[in-house]
Amino acid sequence: MLRGAKALASLNNRTYDDLLPMLAANGLQNELHCKGALSVYETERAFQADAGTWDLRRLHGITCDDLSGDQAREMEPALGPIVRRAVATPQWSHVSDPRTLHSALLTSLRQRGLTVIRGSAVGLTPTESAVTVDTSDAGPLAAEDVVIAAGAWSGFLAATIGDRVLLESERGYNTTIAAPGIQLGREIIFAERQFVATPLSCGLRIGGAAEFGGLDAKPNFKRSNALVSLARRYFPDLVETHGTMWSGHRPATPDSLPVIGRSSRNRRVIHAFGHGHLGLTQAATTGRLVADLIDGATPVVDLLPFSVDRF
């Protein structure tokens, strides 16, 4: 666990070093809100039980301030009396809206000369001087370097060049309520119940859950509803109506570390997937590391813990 935490910190401690310049280069700096986050607890017992985890985070440079329930309500008046303890993490940030950030980034990159070809990759075929990405709908695409970054779907692509990957879909759910009737200044994490509420530009997003049902199972949106009902326990004035439900596949590895680095089976193939719950947080740093590899530079983070060969 300590080794895993150290490896995770080596990526997460670079988040702002890589994310802020990337957002600025694309004119998107206003999409990130450095407002911190608040993890809240219903019982002193659960708060004490998590003390070791918070100490581990402090050890890796994360500021964590212990608070009483009243101090938490001073910061976030929408919280009800159920909250007895809290931990503030002022370095935490959230984005305005992941969807608008994604499309704004794509538009900016296109304007800067990026060519986007849409298609479904079905496998990789190495040739002497390149790797061909075989697709079902966009023809074969040959390149000197190929990056596998297909989230929870990446395992079968890696397998086509002989890399064995332990990767599962850990499905998550959320509901976004456009007019929730309450205001939050920052993300709230409900520590005992493992879900979060985030104030986005499109509304209050209440999300979480970890469902291991594979990539083909139909979503069970009862989970989205259940999270909203739970949120009512913490926010007595929450208006639950007109929520938009969504689910997505988190790419989970057994050690909670992503797979980043060149394949030892074919040096032209670079893996960049398996980011679990932190794909948005670690995206810019992963992009930076992939760029280092393609440029032939020494990666800014030691990539050994993230090697595909660990499986």
Ligand X SMILES: Cc1cc2nc3c(=O)[nH]c(=O)nc-3n(C[C@H](O)[C@H](O)[C@H](O)COP(=O)(O)OP(=O)(O)OC[C@H]3O[C@@H](n4cnc5c(N)ncnc54)[C@H](O)[C@@H]3O)c2cc1C
Binding site for ligand X (CB under 6 A): 120-121, 149-153, 172, 174, 207, 248-251, 273, 275-281
Least separation in angstroms between CB 152 and ligand X: 6
Cβ proximity to ligand X, 49 vs 106, nearer residue:
106
- From CA 225, how far away is CA 214, in angstroms rounded? 21
The answer to whether the beta carbons of residues 169 and 153 sit under 8 Å apart is no
Closer of 150 and 226 to ligand X (Cβ): 150
Nearest to 120 by CA among 145, 138, 102: 138
> What's the min distance (Å) between Cβ of 35 and ligand X?
14
What's the gap between Cα 181 and its chain centre? Answer: 27
Residue nearest ligand X, Cβ-based? 279
Best CA proximity match to 190, nearest among 45, 57, 85: 85
Q: Which is nearer to ligand X, 83 or 259 (CB)?
A: 259
Locate 128 and state its tokens. 């002497």
Q: Do the Cβ atoms of 206 and 78 come closer than 8 Å?
A: no
Smallest distance, ligand X to C-beta of residue 124, A: 11
Nearer to ligand X, 69 or 207 (CB): 207
Shortest distance, position 71 Cβ to ligand X, whole Å: 24
Exposed / middle / buried, residue 227 (Cβ in 10 Å: 0-12, 13-18, 19+): buried
CA Rg value for the chain? 21
The CB-of-300 to ligand X minimum distance in angstroms stands at 19
Quote the crossing angle between the two packed helices 15-25 and 283-295, to the nearest 10°. Answer: 80
Residue number with CB closer to ligand X (121 or 293): 121
Rounded to whole angstroms, the Cα distance separating 120 from 138 reads 7
**Cβ closest to ligand X, residue 84 vs residue 147:** 147
Least spacing, CB of residue 275 vs ligand X, in Å: 4
The rounded distance, in Å, linking the Cα atoms of 172 and 138 is: 30
Query: Taking the complex as a whole, how short is the minimal distance between the CB of residue 137 and ligand X, in angstroms?
Result: 10
Q: Residue 5's closest CA among 63, 53, 77, 46?
A: 53
Nearer to ligand X by Cβ, of 36 and 251: the residue is 251
| Angle at CA of residue 229, ends 224 and 234, nearest 5° | 120
Q: Which is nearer to ligand X, 246 or 311 (CB)?
A: 246
